[in-house]
Amino acid sequence: MTTQNDTRTPPRTFPDVCVRCATCMAACPVSRVTPHFPGPKQAGPGAQRFRSAAESSVDDWIELCTSCRLCDTVCPAGVPISELNLMAKAKYLDERGITFRDWLLVRGDLFGEMAARFSSYVNPLMKNPTVRWLLDKLLQIDRRRDLPCYEYPTFRQWFGARPAADNGNPKIAYFYGCFTNTNETDVGKAAVALLEAHGFSVDVPPQRCCGIPRLGVGDLRGAKEMGGRNLASLLPTVREGTDIVFSSTSCGLMLRHEYGPLLNLPGAEELARHLFDICEYLLHLREEGKTDVTFRPNPMKAAYFASCHLKSLNIGLPALELLRLVPGLDVRLVEAECCGLGGLYGFKKEKFAIAEEIGKDLAEAVARMAPEIVLSDCEGCRMQIRQLTKRTVLHPIQLLRDALL
Amino acid sequence: MRRYDLIVIGMGLAGLTAARTAVEMGAKILIVGRGMGSLTLFGNTIDLLGEITPGTDMEAGVMSWTATHPDHPYARTGWAGIAEALVAFREFFPPPYTFAPVGGGNSLVPTGAGTVRPTYLLPVTMTAGVGISSEDTLIVSFRGFKDFQGDTVSLHLRCRGVNLSLPRYGLEGVTALAFARLMDEEPFRESLGEAIRRQLAGERRIGLPAVLGLRNPAGVMATLEAVTGAKVFEIPMLPPSIPGARIFRRLREELIAKGATFLMGNPVIGATLKNGRCEGITVQNPPLKTVYSADCYVLATGRFLGGGLWADMERVSEPLFHIPVSQPATRGEWFRERFFQPEAHPIHRAGIVTDAALRPVDEGGKVVLENLWAAGSILAHHQAIEEKSREGIDIATGFLAAKRALAP
Amino acid sequence: MHLQTEVLIIGGGATGAGIARDLALRGIPSLLVEKGDFTSGASGRNQGLLHSGARYAVNDPEAARECITENRILRRIAPHCIEASDGLFVSLPEDGPEYRANFIRACGAAGIDTLPLSPNEALSMEPKLNPLIIGAVQVPDGAIDPFTLVVENARDAESRGARFFLHTEVIALILDGVRIAGARVKDRITGEEFSISASWVINAAGAWVNQILGLAGLKIGIALSKGSMLITNTRLSERVINRCRPPASGDIIVPNDTVSILGTTSLREEDLEHYEVTPEEVSFLVDELSRMIPAVRGERFTRAYAGVRPLVQSAETCDDRTISRGFTLIDHESCDGLAGLVTITGGKLMTYRLMAERTADLICKKMGLHVPCLTHVQRLPGAGLSHALKDRLIRLRRHTPAARGEILCDCELVPREVVDAILREAKVRELQDILHRTRLAKGTCQGGFCVYRLLGVLNEMRKAEGLGGSNRILKAFLEERWKGIRPVLWGISLKEEELIESIYKGLFNLTPEEPGPPEGDES
């Protein structure tokens, strides 16, 4: 039953500009590994000609799309393929109803806070085979997926406990993202350290989950709600003249590119104009000659993986450019397109195998490089690379922080 | 706003060549484009000028061509420019995956329609396809891989053909990329090679669809040749083109490794012009528009497919810098009555006219913008489809445009 | 070879096939010859509109009444050939509210159900309508698939003993005294000639009516009127959209499966075999129809086509000529002293069944039989099947990728099994015989990828040689396709064209000359 929802109708003209060239088929990581997903040419502009708002959705394969957006980046005609897929996914899932598992998973920020508080119990439980077996059977969370540990105190709590430094330094705000807050607090700490080293006084405004997990399950209403709340708490920061940086490329993509064009939230463009990837921002400072921060030599062999969402941000590879400034660091780009995790996608039992198969190419590429450390801006990629390669995987800013003089 | 030495607009072979040429010269560059260009569509081999009969020396052939086609892009580059650009291209593909001519000049390679087409530089994975004969060649196709119709090829080439089943995929179809990925796995290609070997009846050459791996095509070919004991060659088919994707990936990898800023996926929607110069370009990154600027710019945005040219119901325009486009007088003259013609439809010769240094000029021959160069299929007075000159024009003009733009 | 039948029908359009079925249902054997494939004439080159009759309500109430009656009958007997999409008649400011009021009254008088709608109501039903409309009226228009309709009529007739010979041209009529006793025909593919004797010959040759009459030294006054149409890449509206004004050109937008058909024009045509859509017609249609749906102006068109309709000019007076609304039934025995020959011409697709009924009634009368017509009650064979767009999309369902089979046409989601079935069941003499019977090559790229794949299938089955060899067929297909796309090559369609030419002329190097043998071939 189609319910009244505020799903925005995709611009009708866009499927029209598709010339069926199949370039997108050369980029899609999902159709590369499984025939169950027909590929972007078919799934997006192809199927769109058969869809009608009045008919119920039959697109049960549409949720196999990971929303990596690589198809968008290669389409010569400018078809917003991933957006078409997202709309179709939203309609399909809306009609089918959200599963309890998905309802739970997209609220990671809420139960994350609780799990963090009780991390000393939760972490061993998440490794307990019986618990994992239960989660697999009851919630279809694949037991083969390594689950991230929770940390306590959370990043927010850590930041709040620091003495406020009223040193008259220019202010900058930081959007940390759920994962940094409860599972990888060191990334947040590194961000703060780097920003302070560049002469800023860091502010952490009130913020909620960016909403991208909800987008991933087609819950546009929920995503819009999160967006509305974040805009309400972040716009004042922007309006007082403070820029905001993010360290998670997925959060960044959501805040900068989906709040406005996709979700039509008022104020989104204003936010976007003052929102930057942290490496993009620091690199920019350097180019404007506004900083003299230098780095200590670090003769490591590092592999840098550019996440799909970073590619969609279309800012180039600023982290890689910064890493090249670390003397002695041998850092090279991993030749692989997508890690396969797709955010929450690879946790789900019915998609685990696909995610793993996609990630295989990345794992092989890393194996060939034999680096001492792997770096990536995206927490999903970091989790996937850790699981697939068993290597040390960090956010570039962690290495940069360690290289600060 | 970031400042570069050169900004290349367009990510097809022409743009990528211009970008690579520039980084080799030590320039700080940005390359921005909407897609991968036509490399992933039809870029399989390097066509230079298919009009030159196999056996004729290419230099002599091109010189004689440009004498009778003085407005052709090759007349701008000259043979010297073409030769230098091709040397640089070939150096970029060291063994084992090399590009080379077979027999010195043009050669004829089989296609997915069972015809042959003339081309110049072939990747090593296609060389065994030249000079095949009916008795010594087996064409292998695969059930479920519908973009290579083996019976069409074998019937027209008058060879024997077999249709094999692919492990892991049934009739529902495997895509070119999925197939190429499987081929990159040694155990897969060994067992495939074994299955092919069992089908051989004395043939010494095996033709396969052009999916011999993305990452290590020479290795794929080597395994298959070792297992089958025959020479193996791949045959270009319907898009997407895996051989073209290999070229794209290699160029992208190199550009990023050499420090170029590589922005793929968002269109350039505007340019800031002042006093006869381009001061910056605007890239659309919804909801933002970001401006980048450089000392000089190369426009390599392609033709209609690439978005370099746009045709409304009346005329053709160049949508970014509004450079005048040389074109037939009315839409009625764009296309001829029949699809197949000895000459190209007049619209395919439309495009941007340039001076000898590849700077776009207006109808009066005056340079439009001091710091703008043009390269690739956007140029007027060539017909890449009929002449079989697409990649040669891309490489030669991309190379030259960067050289001229960055000349002191 | 010599064949014998009661009734020989010349012409495989809707009228001819309809007559074969009507006669078959009355137990009268017939044999139909058609020089091309089914619907080669106007039946296959119209806008596919199932009229409610509303269009004629004001100026021609008789025609309107006839239409709505047939509309209801066709919905009953051929629901699977019809999309019951409904229609709107929209009024723009310049059309005036008076015509609309008149229109509603006239529809009522003709028995056509109408529902007046406010502009807001109409816009919420059809968001792409011009926001300036001053009102709309809903009527029971629909979209009809003429090819399926005709094929279904033929199938039903065939199952009851009628015989069909496609690609078979009449080259002479056989005269026996002052009576037509049959025809001499030629198979256009094999060149074989043979005779057919029949008690009655029905000339249902549509626009070719005089080509047949000429073989008997007769002629009627007809004018040829060309109507051109444009096909869009995506479907613009759920319903048929008409202009609420006195009928003119550029009045109608008909939805058809995944696309919309914009039409039409009405220009005098001289040459029955060679006509094309002109750039002026294209500009006219774009200008005129963008009044109703503004998006038409920037729309991407995948194809243009034209059809020629015969308009009967009643010059002679002959009281045995039954002229009903727009169609003409001539008993040449009474009119010209030539027995055994009957001509049925004019009319429209909508009224084919009625035309067939009248013709069959006449034949029965002449045979002295009193058998009633059953075509208005007996449903067509495939009537139980549905084919919603959604059904094709279901093919992509993930749990059964193997069951999905090989999809040959990506744009229209046509699987290989459909083609296999056609090759098994229908007598395929040329490529268009397959293409007419599926939606393959009717989508966005107009066969750019799928025809290569289809020919591969034919080669695999070794069926291509019989059709001329696959690259010859491919080139012929591309040339034929060209006629449809050339009039609309600008914008995105021009990009598409560049892609297709680059693949076939560039990558595959297909040239006007035949491909030669490979190098090194000594034979």
Which pLDDT tens digits describe chain A residue by residue (405 residues)?
222 222 333 334 566 788 888 899 889 999 888 888 888 888 888 888 888 777 788 888 888 999 999 999 899 888 889 888 888 888 888 888 888 888 888 888 888 889 999 999 999 999 999 999 999 999 999 999 999 999 999 999 999 999 877 788 999 999 999 999 999 999 999 999 999 999 999 999 999 999 999 988 888 889 999 999 999 999 999 999 999 999 999 999 999 999 988 899 999 999 999 999 999 999 999 988 999 899 999 999 999 999 999 999 999 999 999 999 999 999 999 999 999 999 999 999 999 999 999 999 999 999 999 999 999 999 999 999 999 999 999 999 999 999 998
3-state secondary structure labels for all residues of B126-159: CHHHCCCCCCCEEEEEECCCCCCCHHHHHHHHCC
pLDDT, average across residues C284-295: 96
Cβ–Cβ gap C393/A51 under 8 Å: yes
3-state secondary structure labels for all residues of B300-325: CCCCCCCCCCEECCCCEECCCCCCCC
- The pLDDT confidence band at residue C516, using thresholds 50, 70 and 90, is very low
Cβ–Cβ gap C490/B134 under 8 Å: no
Neighbours of B163 (CB within 10 A): 16
Using alpha carbons only, how large is chain C's radius of gyration in Å? 24
Q: What is the per-residue pLDDT for C159?
A: 94
For B35, the closest of A25, A74, A256 (CB atoms) is A74
pLDDT, average across residues B318-322: 95
CB B45 within 8 A of CB B119: yes
Cβ–Cβ gap A311/B265 under 8 Å: yes
Give percent of chain B above pLDDT 90.
87
CB A337 within 8 A of CB A26: no
- Given the candidates 3.90.1150.10, 1.10.1060.10, 1.10.1040.10, 2.60.40.1930, the CATH classification of the domain at A13-96 is 1.10.1060.10
The CA distance from C447 to the nearest CA of chain A, in Å, is 11
C-alpha span between A318 and A278 (Å, rounded): 9
pLDDT, average across residues B153-168: 89
C-alpha span between B337 and B342 (Å, rounded): 12
Q: What is the per-residue pLDDT for B194?
A: 95
Which chains neighbour A (Cβ–Cβ under 8 Å, 3 or more pairs)? Answer: B, C
Kindly state the tokens that stand for A283: 């690199």
Q: Is the pLDDT of residue B375 over 80?
A: yes
54-93 in chain C: CB under 8 A from chain B: none
Stretch among B316-325, C296-305, C425-434 having the lowest mean pLDDT: C425-434
C-alpha span between A31 and B180 (Å, rounded): 12
Q: What is the per-residue pLDDT for B400?
A: 97
C-alpha span between A23 and B265 (Å, rounded): 12
Q: Which is more confident, C323 or C492?
A: C492
The CA distance from B237 to the nearest CA of chain A, in Å, is 12
Kindly state the tokens that stand for B229: 């004991």
- Given the candidates 3.40.50.1820, 3.40.50.1100, 3.90.550.10, 3.50.50.60, the CATH classification of the domain at C2-42+147-221+313-367 is 3.50.50.60
pLDDT, average across residues B251-267: 93
Query: pLDDT by residue (tens digit) across B101-131?
Result: 998 899 999 999 999 999 999 999 999 999 9
Q: Is the pLDDT of residue B50 over 80?
A: yes
Task: Please name each of the domains of chain B with its CATH number.
Answer: 3-43+71-84+245-405 (3.50.50.60), 127-235 (3.40.50)
Cβ–Cβ gap C406/B388 under 8 Å: no
Q: Which run of H or E residues covers position C244? A: none
Q: What is the per-residue pLDDT for A44?
A: 81
Best of A8, A14, A20, A23 to mutate (most B CBs within 10 Å, chain B): A23
The residues spanned by each domain of chain A are 13-96, 292-402
Name which CATH class applies to A292-402: alpha beta
C-alpha span between B237 and A22 (Å, rounded): 12
Strands A301-305 and A373-376 turn out to be parallel
Cβ–Cβ gap B176/A26 under 8 Å: yes
Cβ–Cβ gap C459/B155 under 8 Å: yes
Give percent of chain B above pLDDT 70.
98
Which residue intervals of chain C bear CATH 3.30.9.10?
51-60+68-144+223-304
Query: pLDDT by residue (tens digit) across C193-245?
Result: 999 999 999 999 999 999 999 999 999 988 889 999 999 988 999 999 999 99
Q: Position B140: which residue type? A: V
The CA distance from A22 to the nearest CA of chain B, in Å, is 6
Nearest Cα residue to C335 out of C352, C355, C314: C314
Q: What is the per-residue pLDDT for B172?
A: 60
C-alpha span between C259 and C254 (Å, rounded): 9
CB C235 within 8 A of CB C255: yes
Report chain A residues whose CB lies below 8 A from the CB of B302. 76
Chain pair B-C, CB pairs under 8 angstroms: 170
List residues in chain A touching C: CB distance below 8 A. Answer: 12-13, 15-22, 35-38, 41-43, 46-52, 54-56, 58-61, 64, 77
Which residue intervals of chain C bear CATH 3.50.50.60?
2-42+147-221+313-367
Which chain B residue has its CA at the smallest distance from A19's CA? B305
Which chain B residue has its CA at the smallest distance from C487's CA? B332
What DSSP letter does each residue of C423-483 carry, written as one string? HHHS---SHHHHHHTS-TT-STTTTTTHHHHHHHHHHHTT-SGGGT-HHHHHHHHHHHHHH
C446: contact with B, CB 8 A cutoff:
no
Report chain C residues whose CB lies below 8 A from the CB of B131. 518-520
Q: What is the per-residue pLDDT for C326?
A: 76
Q: Is the pLDDT of residue C315 over 70?
A: no
Sign of the C-alpha dihedral, residues A208, A213, A215, A217? negative
Q: Can you tell me which residue has the tokens 């920061």? A: A237
Q: What is the per-residue pLDDT for C325?
A: 53
Collapsed DSSP state (helix, strand, coil) of residue C86 = coil
Q: Is the pLDDT of residue B187 over 50?
A: yes
Report chain C residues whose CB lies below 8 A from the CB of B151. 456, 459-460
Collapsed DSSP state (helix, strand, coil) of residue B382 = coil
Q: What is the per-residue pLDDT for B74?
A: 97
Please tell me what DSSP assigns to residue C514: P
Q: Which run of H or E residues covers position C1? A: none
List residues in chain C touching A: CB distance below 8 A. Answer: 233-235, 238, 258, 295, 298-300, 388-390, 392-394, 396-399, 401, 410-411, 413, 443-445, 448-449, 492, 495-496, 499
Q: What is the per-residue pLDDT for C472?
A: 86
Q: What is the per-residue pLDDT for C286?
A: 96
Cβ–Cβ gap C411/A46 under 8 Å: yes
Cβ–Cβ gap B287/A22 under 8 Å: no
In angstroms, the Cα distances linking B153 to A214, B111, B119, B235, C500 are 49, 7, 18, 9, 19
C402: contact with B, CB 8 A cutoff:
yes
C-alpha span between C298 and B310 (Å, rounded): 13
CB A382 within 8 A of CB A359: no
Number of Cα atoms under 13 Å in the Cβ half of residue A176:
29
Report chain A residues whose CB lies below 8 A from the CB of B249. 335
Collapsed DSSP state (helix, strand, coil) of residue B258 = coil
Cβ–Cβ gap C396/A17 under 8 Å: no
Backbone dihedral region of C520: left (phi > 0), alpha (psi from -120 to 50 degrees) or beta? Answer: left
Domain C51-60+68-144+223-304 belongs in CATH node 3.40.50.300: no
pTM to 2 decimal places: 0.91
Collapsed DSSP state (helix, strand, coil) of residue B108 = strand
3-state secondary structure labels for all residues of chain A: CCCCCCCCCCCCHHHHCCCCCCCHHHCCCCCCCCCCCCCHHHHHHHHHCCCCCCCCCCCCCHHHCCCCCHHHHHCCCCCCHHHHHHHHHHHHHHHHCCCHHHHHHCCHHHHHHHHHHCHHHHHHHHHCHHHHHHHHHHHCECCCCCCCCCCCCCHHHHHHHCCCCCCCCCEEEEECCHHHHHCCHHHHHHHHHHHHHCCCEEECCCCCCCCHHHHHCCCHHHHHHHHHHHHHHHHHHHHCCCEEEECCHHHHHHHHHHCCCCCCCCCHHHHHHCEEEHHHHHHHHHHCCCCCCCECCCCCEEEEECCHHHHHHCCCCHHHHHHCCCCCCEEEECCCCCCCCCCCHHHEHHHHHHHHHHHHHHHHHHHHHCCCEEEECCHHHHHHHHHHHCCCEECHHHHHHHCEC
- The pLDDT confidence band at residue B286, using thresholds 50, 70 and 90, is confident
Q: Is the pLDDT of residue C515 over 60?
A: no
Phi (first) and psi of residue B256, to 5 degrees = -70, -40
Q: Which run of H or E residues covers position C189? A: none
Query: pLDDT by residue (tens digit) across C11-67?
Result: 999 999 999 999 999 999 999 999 999 999 999 999 999 999 999 999 889 889 999
- The pLDDT confidence band at residue C305, using thresholds 50, 70 and 90, is very high
pLDDT, average across residues C178-206: 94
Q: Is the pLDDT of residue C385 over 70?
A: no
Q: What is the per-residue pLDDT for C313?
A: 77
The CA distance from A43 to the nearest CA of chain B, in Å, is 14
Q: Can you tell me which residue has the tokens 């017509």? A: C373
Burial per residue of C277-292, b for 16 or more beta-carbon CB atoms within 10 angstroms, e otherwise: bbbebbeebbebbbbb
Cβ–Cβ gap B312/C491 under 8 Å: yes
